[in-house]
């Protein structure tokens, strides 16, 4: 299989070792268990996604961000109660402060759900995407990335299950058929050093796992032991990080870690894309019965009154979206903006 590339700060894991079986699998699971407990982040190689397609995907993303503002704003997220579409720089917020990035959010292509006064607010999250008329080919490229990255994410979730001493399909009942999928393509414009360096502020992700592909420009940082570690682009590797749902299921053994992105310097931009995979919106996350050696090291679920984590998936996901996109919240969720713990702007928002 060859040796994986070396990384400065975060571990590199080769997914082919998990699928090889025998001693290779056992060594992989041991490394995964330890690294996800400590960092909650790692590079993955042996992922099977064609590098040529990743290049095509990035080129299509670059063409989207190069469109005239009028074409991008025609599909602005504020028009969508499902939080789909384009967001200009400064319109998404983390910890109540604006993130200096523009992005396009694309979810699974599903119809909007019927609603009435008695249905939970999270049912509004499902619905169609918005696509740019000026770049019709973008739809196929982004949905292909969504499909391939989802398959990779499920392979990783199965590996996490095995690492926790569970059947590989233990999480399948809460994501099968209708997992919560979200793709973000993101551009961080450069900014003068006198301005804020918040590309995206410190946050955790609210799903099972995130699959991140980075361009050549650095900027992602992970908090470990009170310090920020750089997670620079690594040729051939993708980034995987643990989300809040795995922290919940493992009683805190797996770490949903805080991370941020620093704005690139003036005259330079940064491109990245993420697939966030979560459970079905109508699901609740079980607590696993861990082997004694792992249970003894479980830290418990994060107890942060400014960022409560809910076992009800739809509620947890909606929490992050309302905080991150106050303009969408005001237009489409005005009836629940006084919901207290769901909408406090100072809380740690999700990157979803």
Residue with token string 């303009």: 327
Which pLDDT value is given to residue 25?
Answer: 96
Q: How confident is the model at residue 347 (pLDDT cuts 50, 70, 90)?
A: very low
**Mean pLDDT across the chain, nearest whole number?**
89
Q: How confident is the model at residue 193 (pLDDT cuts 50, 70, 90)?
A: low
CA distance 163 to 35: 11
CA distance 235 to 305: 39
Domain residue ranges in the chain: 12-342
Q: What is the pLDDT of residues 50-90, one digit of tens each?
A: 999 999 999 999 999 999 999 999 999 999 999 999 999 98
Determine how many CB atoms are found less than 10 A away from the CB of residue 343: 17
Which pLDDT value is given to residue 301?
Answer: 81
Say whether pLDDT at 348 is over 50. no
Q: What is the pLDDT of residues 288-330, one digit of tens each?
A: 999 999 999 999 887 665 666 777 888 888 988 898 898 999 9
Q: How confident is the model at residue 239 (pLDDT cuts 50, 70, 90)?
A: very high
Which pLDDT value is given to residue 8?
Answer: 58
Q: How many residues does the chain have?
A: 352
- Comparing 303 with 14, the larger pLDDT belongs to 14
Which pLDDT value is given to residue 272?
Answer: 97
Nearest to 207 by CA among 351, 95, 97: 351
Using CA atoms, how far residue 76 sits from 1, 72, 250, 268, 281, in Å, is 45, 7, 37, 24, 24
Q: What is the CATH number of domain 12-342?
A: 2.60.120.330
């Amino acid at each position: 299989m060859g040796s994986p590339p070396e990384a400065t700060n975060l571990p590199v894991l080769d997914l082919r070792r998990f699928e090889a079986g025998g001693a290779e699998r056992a060594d992989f699971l041991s490394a995964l268990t330890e690294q996800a407990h400590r960092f909650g982040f790692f590079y993955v190689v042996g992922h099977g996604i064609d590098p040529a397609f990743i290049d095509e995907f990035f080129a299509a993303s670059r063409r989207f961000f190069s469109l005239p503002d009028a074409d991008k704003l025609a599909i602005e997220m504020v028009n969508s109660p499902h939080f789909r579409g384009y967001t200009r720089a400064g319109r998404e917020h983390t910890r109540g402060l604006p993130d200096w990035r523009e992005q396009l959010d694309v979810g699974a292509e599903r119809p909007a759900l019927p609603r009435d006064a008695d249905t939970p607010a999270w049912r509004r999250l499902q619905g169609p995407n918005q696509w740019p008329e000026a770049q019709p080919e973008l739809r196929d490229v982004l949905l292909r990335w969504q499909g391939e990255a989802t398959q990779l994410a499920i392979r990783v979730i199965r590996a996490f299950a095995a690492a926790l001493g569970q059947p590989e399909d233990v999480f399948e009942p809460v994501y099968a058929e209708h997992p919560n999928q979200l793709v973000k393509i993101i551009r961080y414009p450069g900014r003068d050093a006198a301005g804020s360096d918040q590309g995206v502020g410190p946050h955790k992700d609210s799903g099972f796992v995130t699959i991140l592909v980075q361009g050549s420009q650095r900027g992602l940082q992970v908090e470990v032991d009170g310090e920020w570690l750089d997670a620079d682009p690594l040729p051939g590797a993708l980034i995987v990080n643990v989300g809040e749902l795995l922290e919940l299921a493992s009683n805190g053994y797996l770490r949903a870690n805080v991370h941020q992105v620093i704005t690139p310097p003036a005259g330079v931009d940064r491109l990245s894309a993420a697939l966030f995979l979560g459970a079905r919106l109508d699901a609740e996350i079980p607590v696993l019965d861990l082997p004694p050696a792992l249970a003894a090291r479980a830290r418990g679920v994060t107890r942060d009154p400014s960022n409560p984590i809910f076992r009800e998936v739809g509620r947890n996901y909606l929490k992050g979206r309302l905080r991150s996109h106050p303009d969408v919240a005001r237009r489409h969720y005005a009836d629940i903006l006084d919901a207290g713990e769901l909408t406090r702007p100072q809380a740690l928002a999700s990157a979803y």
